[in-house]
């Protein structure tokens, strides 16, 4: 399978807490991308980390990548109710040109 596998499947936290989710994949990647989907809405591209990068930040998001373990993590700091969504990681494979697969995602619920 070319898709990433997110863990945990579901995460429930309170506003202000940090949310961490992990992603594992199986083959060599060009980059790894994280997307967010609010219920029933289109996916939104959050952040992209290249295979030669180890960490990247964007606002309250922090992404790490460990290519030796074929894993990535997404940290959302100081969560807000608006962060309630499903989060997907997509490993962009070196030879995946055109094929772009999504896993089941991590469903995050942030309660006030």
The residue ranges that bind another protein (CB under 8 A) are: 30-31, 33, 35, 40-45, 48, 88, 92, 96-105
Least separation in angstroms between CB 16 and another protein: 29
* Residue (2 or 84) nearer to another protein, CB: 2
Q: How far apart are CA 28 and CA 26, in angstroms?
A: 7
Least separation in angstroms between CB 61 and another protein: 14
> What is the b/e burial string over 69-106, where b = at least 16 CB atoms within 10 angstroms of the residue's CB?
ebbbbbebeebeeebbbbbbbbbbbeeeeeeeeebebb
Lookup: tokens for 33: 């991308």
* Residue (76 or 93) nearer to another protein, CB: 93
Least separation in angstroms between CB 15 and another protein: 27
* Residue (59 or 112) nearer to another protein, CB: 59
* Residue (97 or 112) nearer to another protein, CB: 97
Q: How many CB atoms lie under 10 A from the CB of residue 52? A: 8
């Amino acid at each position: 399978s070319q898709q990433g596998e997110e863990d945990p499947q579901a995460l429930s936290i309170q506003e202000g807490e940090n949310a961490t989710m992990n992603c594992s994949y199986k083959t060599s990647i060009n980059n790894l991308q994280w997307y967010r989907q609010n219920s029933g809405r289109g996916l939104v591209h959050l952040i992209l980390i290249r295979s030669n990068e180890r960490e990247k930040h964007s606002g309250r998001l922090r992404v790490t990548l460990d290519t030796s373990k074929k894993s990535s993590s997404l940290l959302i700091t100081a969560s807000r109710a608006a962060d309630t969504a499903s989060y997907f990681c997509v490993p962009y494979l070196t030879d995946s040109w055109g094929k772009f697969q999504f896993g089941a995602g991590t469903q995050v619920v942030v309660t006030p």
